[in-house]
Structure 1
Amino acid sequence: MFPVVSREQTTGVSELSTEVIVVGGGVIGLAVSVALAERGVEVTLVSEHRPGEASPAAAGMLAPSVERAPGPAHKFSIAARDRYPAYIEFLAERTGIKVPLNRLGILQVAFSQKGIKGLRKSALPTTRWLDAKELQHFEPALPHALGAMFNAQDGAVDNVVLLEALKKLCAGEKWIERLDGGVRSVKPAAASCTITLDSGTQLTAASVVIAAGAWAAKISGARLAKHVKPARGQLVSYSSTPLRHVAYGPSGYIVPRGSITIAGSTMENVRFDTTTTASGVKKVRAAAEEICPVLASSTTTEAWAGLRPVTPDLLPMIGPDPKHPSLIYACGHSRNGVLMAPLTGDLIADLVTESPLSHDLSQFRPDRF
């Protein structure tokens, strides 16, 4: 379905600039480019920096057991989480950068009997209830909690260092060419696809992958990306790390990262507004300090916002436009872009090289809306 067409093989189409063009330089676009290059596919990665990009703004959670997807998508999310240890080793081997990975598990903390009941009702077979005594052994900074549901193997990755490693790998990869610039439009044809940059430059490839995050819908011709909308998430960081585990409370979460703790997050429909607000920061702080009150005595070091690329069902678009197979979507990952990036890269590379798919992508069909 997705033949990789070389310049020498091309007849009846415009001369190809490259085999595959990837539009978007966030964690998804980078992971897709790396996966394609690993298969020996020539890639041109086109991106431009935009304020509010989700990849560097995220908390880096790997939480498929907590932020649970419906149906087969849950199995996909678990596989995405479990892809990380080998992926981290791969990046370290290729770049010398060891991306911090926390797989101590995630705690869903309860502060009331109603909270305990809710957590027990929604618990997966893989989770375990910790009573107050066990929880205090796990995390002495949570003496006020009544208990917690423990989700083993979930955790977080340092997405900032992950981006650094992926960018370094792309920069040194002979199969990847990077171009700075925005993409105005895409025009798919029978055996190729052409993009037009904001500068007016046109590039043609056998396939184009849309991985432009919250901005995917702004690309003319990417007709199915209209369902991807930006959702602002505000986060704060504290200058201490009282917890070792990622922890969820009734209204937010906290993620230990090195010498700081990241807390989040709001979910706001404000289009492309990337500013933080006093009310948003107050809400995030209140949620974080409910989980771990000792954070209230820490200094808040920073507040920022990112734009999540959200679809109506909060599931990503992964796969081709059925009317134009040369146009492939890898966008709309909503709250799970970091979690799903390595596995999304693998599957896009499978599609392009016509390799057997290891996962059912029917829930992620770009034309499902």
Structure 2
Amino acid sequence: MTSYSSIVIVGAGVLGLCTAFELHRRGRSVLVVDPGEANASAVAAGMIAPAMEAAIDDASPEQAALFRASRDLWPDFAQAARIALARRPAEWRGGDAAGIAARMRALGFEASLNGDRVVTDEDFQVDPAQALAAMKAALGDAVVIGRVEAVRRTADGWRVETDRRELLADAVVLATGADGAVLGLPQAVREQMDAIQPIRGQIGMTTQALAAHVVRGPGAYVAPMGKGGVVGATMEPGRRDTAPDLAAGDRLVQAAWRVLGRTPEPLEIEWRAGVRGATADGLPLAGAAPGGPGLFMALAPRRNGWLLGPLVGQVVADAIEGRAASPHARALDPGRF
């Protein structure tokens, strides 16, 4: 069976769904195709944390400005998509607290330092499960199950071949995370996708609430999640396996108790692992792909998928519609490599 959709988005992780929702609220017809399995966007703490991420990664002023710009898109985006946005303090404890605070302030973020603790009100958080479900609900039957096997150029657009049907589209957005390139894509696009580095990340979901807000420190973070909490997270470059590593989990829990300054106690915890993609500069590929007209990318945000989702969606939607690019589009342009 062959059907037509103006814009087909391959992948229903945070970048794919943010792009789809941005286009949807601009009145564009979209279809999101996804295998329906758990993806890395669900194995996350939902951090929208420009201040902490910029300080921890020693980001450049340009990267910090990009992080802040995407954070500032979140309140309107969350309201439109009915995503619950938590706006509460975020804290760093222990380690180089003075250095963390100094880097935040140098990059233009507010931070208060009290001994070995740094507190900022610049960071937000979402519950990934709720946020993904809200965007899917808003898109309705525009999200369909299917495994894309090939994407091929046609005389006047693109043909997306899935295991269930064939789709014709004017534009295709590749939002496939760290997955390799499917058949039929232009060589330049295949090379870019093959260069994406997989990074395995593991988190633990606890039934107990361990902190009222995000608390970070050397080796771990703890954050509220639903009625419980989340402990994270590993960053393991080069790994694609998703079976939980109990030894790594034990190290995270021990580090979490040290960060909280509490005596360890038994936890009911479910370990999950997902695989993210990362580029050489740590920023996603967002915008027109180097493979001909009508092909776009929304890929490889490293650990900042939730932070950068609305900005990536805006950049890709602007490129599809031929609008003037946002000031940060060049930093995400797939053609920069």
TM over 0.5: yes
Contact 1:242–1:295, Cα closer than 8 Å, also in 2 = no
Does residue 122 (structure 1) correspond to residue 93 (structure 2)? The answer is: no
Q: Percent identity?
A: 29
Any idea what the Cα deviations from partners look like across 1:326-346, whole Å, max 9, x if unmatched? 110011111011111122222
Q: Distance in 2 between matches of 1:240 and 1:43?
A: 40
Q: Following TM superposition, by how much is the alpha carbon of 1:249 offset from its aligned partner in structure 2, in angstroms?
A: 0.2
How far residue 270 of structure 1 moved from its aligned partner, in angstroms, is 4.9
Where does 1:99-118 land on structure 2 (aligned, <5 Å)?
99-111=83-95, 115-118=96-99
Pair 1:306–1:118, CA change in 2 (3 A): same
- Residue in 2 that maps onto 1:73: 63
**Are 1:244 and 2:212 counterparts?**
yes
Structure 1's 334 and 323: CA in aligned 2 closer, same or farther, altered over 3 A? same
Are positions 1:49 and 2:32 aligned together?
Answer: no
Structure 1 residues 188, 295: CA separation in 2 closer, same or farther (over 3 Å shift)? farther
Q: What is the aligned partner in structure 1 of residue 9 from structure 2?
A: 22
- Match of residue 309 from structure 1: 277
* Cα distance in 1 for residues equivalent to 2:48 and 2:295: 29
Paired position in structure 2 for 1:184: 149
| CA displacement at 1:295 relative to structure 2 | 7.0
Letter in 1 for 2:148: V
2:121 is equivalent to residue 152 of structure 1:
yes
Cross-structure match for 1:163? 132
CA–CA distance in 2 between the matches of 1:291 and 1:264? 12
Q: CA 1:193/1:256 → structure 2, altered by over 3 Å: closer, same or farther?
A: same
Matched residue SS, 1:130: strand
Amino acid at match of 1:58: A
Q: For 2:21 and 2:268, how far apart are their aligned partners in 1?
A: 36
Change over 3 Å in CA distance of 1:57–1:345 after alignment to 2 = same
* Counterpart-to-counterpart distance in 1, 2:97 and 2:132: 37
Q: Which moved more, 1:154-163 or 1:177-186?
A: 177-186
Q: CA deviation at 1:203?
A: 2.1
Deviation (angstroms), 1:73:
3.2
User: Are 1:206 and 2:170 an aligned pair?
Assistant: yes
What secondary structure sits across from 1:217 in the alignment?
A: coil
Aligned counterpart for 2:230 among listed residues 243, 262, 269: 262
Change (3 A) 1:126 1:31: closer
> More deviation in 204-213 or 236-245?
236-245
5+ residue gaps in structure 2? none
Unaligned runs of 5+ in 1: 1-14, 93-98, 132-145
User: Aligned partners of 2:133, 2:78: CA distance in 1, in Å?
Assistant: 12
- Does the residue aligned with 2:336 lie in a helix, a strand or coil? coil
Compute the displacement of 1:215 (Å): 1.5
Distance 2:37 2:304 in 1: 20
Q: Is the 8 A contact 1:57 1:304 kept in 2?
A: yes
Contact 1:238 1:298 in 2 (8 A): no
For residue 273 of structure 2, give the secondary structure of its aligned residue in structure 1: strand
Counterpart of 2:126, as a letter, is V
Q: 1:5 — aligned with what?
A: none
> In terms of Rg, which structure is larger?
1
Structure 2: distance between partners of 1:89 and 1:219: 38
TM-score, with structure 2 as normaliser: 0.88
- After TM superposition, the score normalised by the length of structure 1 is 0.81
Distance in 2 between the 1:73 and 1:183 partners? Answer: 33
Distance in 2 of aligned mates of 1:219 and 1:314 = 26
Superposed CA offset, 1:39-67 (max 9, x none): 2222121111235x111111101111121
Deviation at 1:349, TM superposition (A): 1.6
Equivalent residue for 1:332, pick from 300, 313, 316: 300
* 1:273-311 residue CA offsets vs partner (Å, 9 max, x unmatched): 101112210121122111114372252321111111222
| 1:243–1:362 Cα change, 3 Å | same
Indicate yes or no: 2:335 matched with 1:353. no
Aligned counterpart, 2:76:
86
Quote how far apart the aligned CAs of 1:191 are.
4.4
CA distance in 1, matches of 2:124, 2:283: 20
* Aligned-partner Cα distance in 2 for 1:216–1:40: 31
Tell me how far apart the structure 1 counterparts of residues 182 and 248 of structure 2 sit (CA, whole Å).
27
Alpha-carbon contact 1:234-1:284 (below 8 Å) kept: no
